[in-house]
Amino acid sequence: MMAYPRDCINYLIIILMINIITVACQPQIPASRTSNIKLLSAIFRHGDRTPDNNGHEMYPKDPNLNNNFYPLGLGQLTHKGKNREYELGLHLREQYNEFLGDIYESKALIARSTDYDRTKMSLQLVLAGLYPPQGDLIWNKNLLWQPIPTHYLPSYADVLMIPEECPKYLEKFNNILNSTEVQEIMSDFSELMTNLTRITGKNITKSQDMYYLYHTLDAEKSLGATILDELKAYHPNGPLLEGVLLHYELINFNDDLIKLNGGVLLRKITENMKAVKENTMAEGRKLFLFSGHETNVAAILNALDVYELHVPQYSSCVVIELHEVDNSYYVKVNYFRGIPAEFKTLTIPGCEELCPFDRFIELTAPVTPTDDDLKCDKFQTALYRDKQDKILNKNFQFTLVKQFI
């Protein structure tokens, strides 16, 4: 057993005592008092999908390279994924039924997704499970479903849900990738990337390449599609998992990156909670739904400082709850893992499960972006620069047509 110097042990004891005192000094809710949920914000990943031939995922030696997965198509929800998202809606209904009430009211809900078919469809499926029509809202006895409006922005304009495409984030991320520290970390993966390059026929040179390969194999495994035998030793729990987990670490490497990634959505959620606290929230508003990707789930968990290294599964969902107890407000975080389908309460470091709102603001301040941080023109990036004229012209034409319909 390794022996530690006495000074080191004393230091650890002092740190432990400080943490204990910090937590002990947090306001406690007496057992005799009950908390009332005042607002819910849920951020979730889409369901199981087909591989996406977006220029990043499929690889030259992929047995499914020429498979368009008819009739679903590429990058689309599978039946398994549809069921999983619908079941997420059922789980949210079961967990929060008393607060949400049985009857859907349009004023109670804002539902938003990214501009991907799979996230738009996932949002509709969650809503179908969450809000089946009741009473006078049943419009077809043979179809216990009701239409509910949802919203999205095109990716080039979506700073809230896809902030990692913004120039400020990309600049800081590239600086991290080029740092000596990260270059040394990446050198530990050089043999793995060389082997993956040989097996797949694709040039695997960075963590993002391993990330896309992992999710391609995840999609194919969920489908029951053919996977190269040699890759089965790397996925889902082999060396490739270490590569994809490294990528999640790198994209949230420090507070600056977290602030410009998950911090963007966290700021919006915090503003909504403040509006409830200050009685300026739209009357009757109860729920905000954000349908996105596993990167959104990992990003918000990092912003809350509760991320444990893992790949967020299909239909995984972070629920941020605002509670009121005797005119005081608290924040609680629940995590629905998706696979397995169970909720787990997460405790923000330095707080109780029910974290006093002011303490929550204090703890998340280092990763809360300013107005200047939020300024983002994606047309300045390589991803959109060459598409600017086409996108803007298309939107201009759409606006003109819309005026005459």
198 in the same domain as 312: no
Q: Give me the CATH number covering residue 84.
A: 3.40.50.1240
- Residue 394 confidence (pLDDT): 62
Q: Is the pLDDT of residue 62 over 70?
A: yes
Q: What is the mean pLDDT of residues 211-230?
A: 97
- Residue 391 confidence (pLDDT): 82
Total number of domains in the chain = 2
Q: What is the mean pLDDT of residues 164-176?
A: 98
Higher pLDDT residue, 35 or 5?
Answer: 35
177 in the same domain as 127: no
Higher pLDDT residue, 55 or 23?
Answer: 55
pLDDT digit string, tens, across residues 72-123: 999 999 999 999 999 999 999 999 999 999 999 999 999 999 999 999 999 9
DSSP state of 49: B
266 in the same domain as 134: yes
Q: What is the mean pLDDT of residues 243-268?
A: 98
Q: Model confidence at 221, in pLDDT bands (50, 70, 90)?
A: very high
Q: Is 394 helix (H, G, I), strand (E, B) or coil?
A: helix
265 in the same domain as 147: yes
Higher pLDDT residue, 69 or 34?
Answer: 69
Q: Is the pLDDT of residue 154 over 60?
A: yes
**Of 254, 286, 320, which residue is a domain's last?**
254
- Residue 54 confidence (pLDDT): 84
276 in the same domain as 262: yes
266 in the same domain as 120: yes
182 in the same domain as 152: no
d(CA 367, CA 346): 18
363 in the same domain as 325: yes
274 in the same domain as 132: yes
285 in the same domain as 246: no
Q: Model confidence at 395, in pLDDT bands (50, 70, 90)?
A: low
Higher pLDDT residue, 54 or 163?
Answer: 163
213 in the same domain as 123: no
Name residues whose C-beta falls within 8 Å of residue 22's C-beta, 6 or more positions apart in sequence.
Answer: 350
Range of the domain at 246: 168-254
Q: Is the pLDDT of residue 287 over 80?
A: yes
Q: What is the mean pLDDT of residues 364-369?
A: 99
Percent of the chain scoring above 90 in pLDDT: 85
- Is 362 part of any domain? yes
**Of 222, 254, 286, which residue is a domain's last?**
254
- Is 173 part of any domain? yes
- Is 8 part of any domain? no
- Is 247 part of any domain? yes
83 in the same domain as 153: yes
**Of 254, 270, 303, which residue is a domain's last?**
254
Q: What is the mean pLDDT of residues 147-159?
A: 97
Q: Is the pLDDT of residue 314 over 70?
A: yes
Listed residue (256, 273, 253) closest to 368, CA to CA = 256
Catalytic residues: 46, 294
For 47, phi then psi, to 5°, come to -85, 180
**What are the angstrom distances between the C-alpha of 313 and each of 6, 58, 123, 185, 336?**
43, 20, 16, 26, 10
- Residue 7 confidence (pLDDT): 46
- Residue 33 confidence (pLDDT): 56
- Is 240 part of any domain? yes
